[in-house]
Amino acid sequence: MKYIKIFAPATVANVSCGFDSMGFAVDTVGDEMSFTKTVEKGVKITQITGANGLSLDPTKNAAGVVALAMLKKHPADFGIEISMHKGYSPGSGLGSSAASSGGAAFGINELLDRPFSTLELTKFAMLGEEAACGTPIADNVASAIFGGFVLIRSYEPLDIVKLPVPDELQLVAIHPQIEVKTKDAREVLPKDVPLKDAITQWANVGGLVSGLYTNDYQLIANSLTDVIVEPARKHLIPHFDLVKNEAIKAGALGAGISGSGPTIFALCKGEEAAANVYKAIQNAYSDKNIDFNLFTSKINTQGVKILETK
């Protein structure tokens, strides 16, 4: 193989109660990335379309950092050129840097004839997240690479559990066209958490995992509650409470902040409920004088997808 083109999915991290430990991949939104072997060794990023302000310097770009680390670990007698089209903007709360990082890990691994495991790819992708966001978090990149829902059970050592996805689960998400930087969103987090809130939060994580395994949509709905991070961050997102309340009123199982925001996600049971929630959110935001993107999607259970090879 001399060339591969892939789709790297957007992701929803935290999923309300699972801060830095849960996430899932999106099916309809993501980046397209191409990787080409070259005679000249090293990593070169030739172009980035669809987003402004991203560096072509591989040492300052999430995808480039991942590629360089992989070639250092597994030297090759060729170089690699990377080009990418961003399907959504950085700072959206949909794992923009994670798509670049996870997509790069997958694509480079294919050109190297797959020397690394999925878990090892996640570790490489975390280096891209650290370069982009300052923290080597795994929930977004693991979701992009593994697909479906994932649980980061442990960071040291890294232990990732892929969770089942109920067939009727649907996503509705609104991305207000403002930017919330991950670093800024982390600065507002509480330094201390009351024991009562901690107990509530980890009980909800257990409930969400159980609901996914048993296809219990009511349990999923009951568990999509965040009493720690959402209250601290929601002021960063215009009209968050309105969108959440209208989504749930229209039939959503639950709604919350995707990643660091400003995207707000809602999970629904079935296409009809998703359509109703879509309309409710659209109506709630249409007169707020803020541009927004609104979309629906199934959960992407595959992760990174191969589009073309040569």
pLDDT digits (tens, 9 = 90+) for 61-102: 999 999 999 999 999 999 999 999 999 988 899 999 999 999
CB atoms within 10 A of CB 147: 23
Active site residue 129: yes
Which helix H or strand E contains 76, and what residues bound it? none
**Catalytic site residue from 32, 129, 230, 246:** 129
- Cα 151 to chain centroid distance, Å, stands at 13
Instruction: Give the residue from 260, 59, 293, 69 showing the smallest Cα distance to 176.
Output: 293
Pairing of β 305-309 and β 169-176? unpaired
* Per-residue pLDDT reduced to its tens digit, 196-223: 999 999 999 999 999 999 999 999 999 9
Bridge partner list, 280:
none
Active site residue 130: no
**Catalytic site residue from 182, 230, 246, 263:** 182
Buried b vs exposed e over 215-241: b needs ≥16 C-beta within 10 Å?
Answer: eebebbbebbbbbbbbeebbebbebbe
User: For position 89, what pLDDT does the model report?
Assistant: 86
User: For position 134, what pLDDT does the model report?
Assistant: 85
Half-sphere exposure of 137 (CA within 13 A, CB side): 25
Fold entry, domain 3-163+300-309: Ribosomal Protein S5; domain 2 (3.30.230)
Average pLDDT (142-152) is 98
Give yes or no for a contact between 82 and 46, defined as CB atoms under 8 angstroms apart: yes
Percentage, residues of the chain above pLDDT 90:
93
Specify the domain boundaries for CATH 3.30.70.890 within the chain.
169-298
Which helix H or strand E contains 75, and what residues bound it? none
Bridge partner list, 297:
171
Instruction: Give the residue from 28, 149, 151, 34 showing the smallest Cα distance to 81.
Output: 34
CATH number for the domain running over 169-298? 3.30.70.890
CB atoms within 10 A of CB 160: 20
- The pLDDT of residue 53 is above 90: no
Give 153: exposed, middle or buried? Use CB within 10 Å, 0-12, 13-18, 19+.
Answer: exposed
Average pLDDT of the chain, as a whole number? 96
Question: pTM, whole model, 2 decimals?
Answer: 0.95
Provide the pLDDT confidence category of residue 183 given band limits of 50, 70 and 90: confident
Distance CA 133, CA 63 (A): 13
The residue count of the chain comes to 310
* Per-residue pLDDT reduced to its tens digit, 113-131: 999 999 999 999 999 999 9
* Per-residue pLDDT reduced to its tens digit, 16-37: 999 999 999 999 999 999 999 9
Instruction: Give the residue from 95, 66, 69 showing the smallest Cα distance to 82.
Output: 66
